[in-house]
Amino acid sequence: MKSVSFVEGIVVALVAALGASLCYSSAILLLPAESALRLVGVLLSLGYTIYLLGRSRLRSGRVAMIALWLMIGPLSLTQTLPLSGAVLLHSGFVWLLRSRYLHAGPLAVLMDLGLVLLGLATASWAALQSGNLFLAVWSLFLVQALFIFIPNPSVWHRSDQAEPQHPFAQAYQSAQLALQRLNLRS
């Protein structure tokens, strides 16, 4: 992931919340409330997917992720899936996407899952307390902005590991790190 800051996450949260509010206000004129919410959820998921893929340095698997989203998006618009199921489906996709492109180890992936669940709980609480879509989406994406603080084990350096005692120590460490990354991606 190209360097992302928490401030950027706050901006993404603000844009998502404003966009969701405007989209819902427009969609509610033409669609029933639940269908308008489904549409907003699909558009938020699409926007966040594009954002994450755009910020990622990793190029492999993008077509597969877009194809997966193209299956999930229309599925979540159908009335056969409950609205809560559609929200969970998109949240699970975001977790899968961030796990694929951001995190190298299982602990980081589990921490990200916890962050997704915390975001959903926060958004649900905000929606129940205020009844305001802007605050619910803002809360969800504000919590999601915290993903940048999840440590990446592929770049952790344990101080108890023996350092190579030759003039090319830094090159050796870089090569080891590159091999670890290649092993994690395959």
- What are the sequence ranges of the domains in the chain? 6-151
pLDDT of residue 55: 86
pLDDT of residue 1: 58
Angle between helix 6-27 and helix 33-55 axes, rounded to 10 deg:
150
Nearest Cα to Cα of residue 50 among 36, 40, 41, 62: 62
Inter-residue contact 49 to 65 (CB < 8 Å): yes
pLDDT of residue 172: 76
pLDDT of residue 159: 42
- Residue in this structure with the two tokens 């809360």, named with its chain if needed: 139
- Residue in this structure with the two tokens 């992936």, named with its chain if needed: 109
Report helix, strand or coil for 124: helix
Q: Exposure of 128 by Cβ count < 10 A (0-12 exposed, 13-18 middle, 19+ buried)?
A: exposed
pLDDT per position in the chain (186 positions), as tens?
566 789 999 999 999 999 999 999 999 999 999 999 999 999 999 999 999 998 888 888 899 999 999 999 998 988 788 999 999 999 999 999 999 888 888 899 999 999 999 999 999 999 999 999 999 999 999 999 999 999 875 543 344 444 445 556 677 777 778 777 777 766
Residue 157 CA: distances (Å) to CA of 122, 153, 162: 34, 8, 11
Instruction: Count the helix, strand and coil residues of the chain and give each as a percent rounded to the nearest 5.
Output: 75, 0, 25
pLDDT of residue 103: 83
pLDDT of residue 160: 41
DSSP string, 155-179: G---TTSPPP-STTHHHHHHHHHHH
Inter-residue contact 147 to 13 (CB < 8 Å): no
Residue type at 90?
H
Work out the angle at residue 133's Cα, subtended by the Cα atoms of residues 147 and 79, and round it to the nearest 5 degrees.
95
pLDDT of residue 105: 84
pLDDT of residue 186: 60
